[in-house]
Structure 1
Amino acid sequence: MDYLYREGSPISADLWKQIDDTVVSTAKSILTGRRFISNYGPLGGGIQSINVDSISELEESEGDISVIKGRTYRHIPLINQDFSLLWRDLEFSDQMGLPVDLSAAIQAASQCALKEDELIFLGNEELGYKGLINEDGVIKLQLSDWSEGENPFKDISVGIAKFIENGIVGRKALVVSPKLYVELQRIQPGTGTTEYDRISRLLNGNIFSTPVLKGDKAVMVCAEPHNIDLVIGQDMITTYLETKNLNHYFRIIETLLLRIKNKNAVIVFE
C-alpha cells in the first residue's frame, strides 16, 4: 500500500528527490539525540509497538506458564509536521527553469527534528512518555554553578566516577542546554584552555547542545546500545496530503521511541 501517496500525486520524481534531500539534510543539521544514540531499525511504518527491557530485572519466570519479567511493551509514537507549496511558485520555477524554493519544507523539517529531540530528552507527559531528563530511576546529581572556577569539570568528573562505580563502561556523551554550553567556553586563568576543551578530552569530544533543554540542564549518558537506543519505525519521510485550491500540501512523518534499558547509564545534572 502506498501510504505516502506519492505515485498518484502531481509532483514529479525530480521534485520529490529535491524535497527528500532538503528534508533529510535539514533534519540532520538539527537533530541531537541521533548523534550519540544508536538506532534500532528502521523497522517499518506498520510496526506500532516494541518491547522495552530493564536489563537489571530481565528474566523468565518458572512454572507451567511463564512470562518475561522486566519487560514492557510501548506504543511507538508518530511525529508529524505539515507544509505546503503554492502552485504558482512551482509553475514559475518550471517556466523560468529556476530551482523550486523549498523554504517551507526546510522550516517543517526543522520543527519535526525539534519535536524528535523533545521526545528524546523531555518525553511527552500528556501521552505518558518519559525522556532522558525526567525518566524515573535515573541518577540525579547536583549541578554546581558552571560560571565559576572548575565546577563544570568537577561535576562531569563526579558523573564519570559514578559510572565507574556502577560498572558502566563504554562511549559517553554529554548534552547541555545552550546556557551551559556558553558557560563551558570560559578560559581557565593561566591555562589558555576552556572548560569545554577539558571536558571534551574526558568524553572523546562527545559534547552536544540542544535548544530543547532550557536553563541549567545537562544530561550525560553511556550511549552503548545495550544501555539505550532509539527505535525507528518509519524514518523521517515526506508524504503527499492533498491538492487544495490548486496548492500542494505535504506532511513529514516519522515514528520512533526512546528505550532506556539501564537507568544507571543516565545521569541528570540539576
Structure 2
Amino acid sequence: MDYLSREAAPFGDALWEQIDTTIVETLKKYLVGRRFLPLYGPLGPGAQSVAVDSSDKDESFKDGVVQTTGRKFVELVQLYEDFPLFWRDLEASERTGVPVDLSAAARAAQASAKAEDQLIFFGNKALGVDGLLTVPGSNTIKMDDWAEGQNAFANIAAGASMLVEKDMLGRLALIMGPDLYFKLQRIQPGTGVMEIDRIKSLLDGRVYRSNALAGKAVLVCAEAQYMDLAIGQDLAAAYLELVNLNHYFRILETAALRVKNSEAIVVFE
C-alpha cells in the first residue's frame, strides 16, 4: 500500500526529489530533540504503540502464565503539517525552466520540527502523553536569574551534580529557550570567558536552544537506558489531494518520547 500516495501525484520524480531535499535540509536546521536523544526505530508506519520499560522490569511466573511488570505502552503520536503548491507555479516552471519556489514546503518542515520538539518537551495532555518537562518523578531546581552573575553556571552545575549523585552517568545535555540562551552571551566578570562557553565546557559542548522552550530549561542524561525517541513513520511528505487545480501535501510522522527513568531529568523552574 502506497500510504504516501505519491503515485497519485500528476508529476514525476524530479519534483519529488526537490521537495524531499527542501524538507530534509530544513528539518536538519530546526529539529532539536533528535540532536541529543537516542533514536529507537523506525518501527514502520503501521506501528501504533511502543513499550516503555522501567528499570524494575521483571517477569512473574504463576499457574502457567507469565506476567511482565514494570512495562507500559504509549501511543506513537501522529504529527502532521500541510502545505500547497499552486498549479500555475508548476506550469510556469515546466514551461520556462524556472525552479519551483518551495518556500511553503520549507515553512511546513519548520513547523513539523517545532511540533516534534513540543511533543518531546511537553508531551500532549489530551492524549495523556508526558514530555521531558511534564513527566512525574523528575528532579527540579529553582532557577535564579540567569542574566546575573554566575547564577546560570551555578544552577547547571548543581543539576549536573544531582544527576551524577543519582548514578545517571553518560552524556549530559542542556536545552533551553532562546531567551535564556541569549542571556548567556556575555563575558563573565573577572574571567574574560563567555558564560555560555563555561557551560558548554562543563557539558562537553552539548548545549542546545529550542523555540519550543520559552523561559524554560532542562538538563538530561541522554542515554538510551534512561530515555529515547521512538519513531514509527519517520518524517516524510505525502501527496494529499488536488483542490481547485492546486496540489496539497502533508508532512507526517509518528513518534513517542520514552522516558525509562525520570530521575535522569532536571527541570529548572
Question: 1:73 and 1:148 mapped to 2: Cα distance?
Answer: 43
Question: 2:49 and 2:188 mapped to 1: Cα distance?
Answer: 49
Matches within 5 A, 1:179-258: 179-215=179-215, 217-258=216-257
Summarize deviations over 1:103-133 as a string: whole Å, max 9, x none. Answer: 1101111111110000000111111111101
Matches within 5 A, 1:85-234: 85-215=85-215, 217-234=216-233
Aligned to 1:61, the other structure's residue is in SS state strand
The letter for the 1-side match of 2:255 is L
Question: 2:11 and 2:115 mapped to 1: Cα distance?
Answer: 27
Partner in structure 2 of residue 77 of structure 1: 77
The letter for the 1-side match of 2:239 is Y
- Could you tell me whether the CA contact under 8 Å between 2:74 and 2:129 is conserved in 1? no
- Could you tell me whether the CA contact under 8 Å between 2:8 and 2:239 is conserved in 1? no
Q: TM-score, normalised by structure 1?
A: 0.97
Summarize deviations over 1:144-196 as a string: whole Å, max 9, x none. Answer: 11111111111111111111111111111000111110111121112211111
Question: 2:138 and 2:53 mapped to 1: Cα distance?
Answer: 15
- Could you tell me whether the CA contact under 8 Å between 2:59 and 2:67 is conserved in 1? yes
Cα offset, 1:140, TM superposition: 1.0
The letter for the 2-side match of 1:263 is S
Question: 2:102 and 2:244 mapped to 1: Cα distance?
Answer: 19
Cα offset, 1:23, TM superposition: 0.7
Higher strand share: 2
Partner in structure 2 of residue 49 of structure 1: 49
Q: TM-score, normalised by structure 2?
A: 0.97
Q: Percent identity?
A: 51
Question: 1:162 and 1:89 mapped to 2: Cα distance?
Answer: 56
Summarize deviations over 1:82-108 as a string: whole Å, max 9, x none. Answer: 111000000001111111100110111
Aligned to 2:88, the other structure's residue is in SS state helix
When structure 1 is superposed on structure 2, of 23-32 and 181-190 the one drifting more is 181-190
Question: 1:218 and 1:207 mapped to 2: Cα distance?
Answer: 11
5+ residue gaps, structure 2, are none
The letter for the 2-side match of 1:127 is L
Alignment root-mean-square deviation, CA: 0.9
Cα offset, 1:262, TM superposition: 1.1
Cα offset, 1:12, TM superposition: 1.2
When structure 1 is superposed on structure 2, of 30-39 and 187-196 the one drifting more is 187-196
Partner in structure 2 of residue 261 of structure 1: 260
Cα offset, 1:8, TM superposition: 2.6
Partner in structure 1 of residue 32 of structure 2: 32
Greater than 4 Å deviation, 4+ residue runs? none
Cα offset, 1:34, TM superposition: 0.4
Partner in structure 1 of residue 62 of structure 2: 63
How many residues align structurally?
Answer: 268
